[in-house]
């Protein structure tokens, strides 16, 4: 899907706007707040998932920007602009970083383009993550991204919205094959806890949007087949390199101890992989 035919429908809930609401944003409608309130009321700890995911993404972009020479990012399923977007974090550490945001929600496009209209190193394009070739060959992508140089591909809280029959591993594999050695892949994903909380959250998403797939650590790792998964592996997002730059200094367990996470924070996993 491209820009043509996209329009904002305030009567239908949007995954991006519900997520915005859970993060405390204002770019949402009553229908989105209604779904968000189901999570807040019936699954009160689920708000922690959104914050844990965002914090892990910030730490990952910081890690890539400060410890590698990668200066190109493609953020797939980027969602509505919020604090510490990928370009803000990356350009804070490396001013020449270039970022292409991709989303199919029309409100994301409107707000993203308004935010970024004066940032010549950033673009927002309308496309479906399930059609990676459309993204790869989009004029805005080709304008900013040099595929002969390493790229950081960001799958932050998007692959769990791709059902099994839509081949999420194939989407990652496409990008793996398009970028050179030295490229990085960040993934965060709903993490199956085999408990009532997981089952209920999955039911709400499937009932509302027809998508939302919790996967085990092994299933998430399998999405990164052919890539080197870096330490500490696929772990709860709050435990993914806590204390790194732009992140919290200590986990819930305090300095030097293994944090004891509440069940909700264990329901979102994160990992960083590298193409050798």
**Which pLDDT tens digit goes with each residue over 184-233?**
999 999 898 777 777 777 777 777 776 778 899 999 999 999 999 999 99
Q: What is the pLDDT of residue 264?
A: 77
Between helix 15-22 and helix 106-116 the angle, nearest 10°, is: 60
Pair of tokens at residue 1: 């899907």
Q: Tell me whether residue 68 is exposed, middle or buried, using C-beta atoms within 10 angstroms of its C-beta: 0 to 12, 13 to 18, 19 or more.
A: middle
Domains of the chain: 15-274 (3.40.50.150)
pLDDT tens, position by position, 74-105:
999 987 666 688 999 999 999 999 999 998 87
Check whether 2 has a pLDDT greater than 50. Answer: no
| Residue 94 token pair | 């490396």
**Alpha carbon of residue 149 to chain centroid:** 22
φ/ψ (deg, to 5) at 188: -125, 145
| Cα–Cα distance for residue pair 179/21, rounded to 1 Å | 34
Bridge partner list, 236: 269
pLDDT digits (tens, 9 = 90+) for 20-76: 787 777 778 888 888 888 777 766 676 788 889 999 999 999 999 999 999 999 999
Q: For residue 99, is the peptide bond before it cis, meaning its omega torsion is within 30 degrees of 0?
A: no
Q: What is the pLDDT of residue 210?
A: 67
Burial 198-221 (b: 16+ CB within 10 A, else e): beebbebbeebeeebbbbebebbb
Task: Quote the radius of gyration of the chain (alpha carbons, Å).
Answer: 18
Percentage of the chain beyond pLDDT 90 is 52
Other C-beta atoms closer than 10 Å to the C-beta of 165 total 6
Strands (E), the chain: 72-76, 98-103, 122-126, 152-156, 184-190, 228-229, 235-236, 268-274
* Single pTM value for the model: 0.83
* Residue partners of 88: CB distance under 8 A and separation at least 6: none
Average pLDDT, the chain: 85
The DSSP call for residue 260 is -
């Amino acid at each position: 899907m491209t820009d043509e035919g996209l329009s904002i429908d305030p009567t239908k809930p949007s995954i991006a706007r519900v997520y915005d609401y859970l993060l405390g944003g204002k770019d949402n409608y009553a229908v989105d707040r209604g779904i968000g309130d189901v999570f807040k009321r019936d699954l009160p700890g689920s708000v922690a998932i959104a914050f844990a995911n965002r914090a892990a993404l910030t730490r990952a972009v910081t890690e890539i920007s400060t410890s590698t020479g990668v200066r190109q990012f493609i953020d797939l399923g980027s969602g509505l602009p919020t604090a510490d977007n990928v370009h803000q974090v990356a350009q804070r550490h490396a001013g020449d970083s270039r970022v292409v945001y991709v989303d199919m929600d029309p409100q994301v496009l409107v707000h993203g383009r308004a935010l970024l209209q004066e940032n010549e190193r950033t673009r927002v394009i309308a496309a479906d993550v399930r059609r990676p070739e459309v993204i790869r060959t989009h004029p805005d992508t080709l304008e900013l991204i040099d595929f002969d140089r390493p790229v950081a591909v960001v799958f932050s809280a998007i692959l769990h919205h791709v059902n099994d029959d839509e081949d999420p591993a194939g989407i990652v594999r496409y990008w793996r094959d398009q970028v050179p050695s030295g490229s990085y892949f960040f993934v965060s994903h709903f993490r199956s806890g085999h408990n009532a909380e997981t089952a209920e959250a999955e039911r709400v998403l499937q009932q509302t949007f027809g998508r939302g797939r919790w996967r085990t650590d092994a299933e998430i790792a399998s999405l990164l087949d052919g890539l080197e998964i870096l330490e500490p592996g696929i772990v709860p997002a709050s435990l993914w390199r806590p204390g790194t730059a732009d992140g919290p200094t200590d986990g819930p367990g305090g300095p030097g101890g293994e944090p004891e996470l509440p069940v909700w924070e264990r329901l979102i996993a994160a990992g960083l992989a590298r193409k050798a």
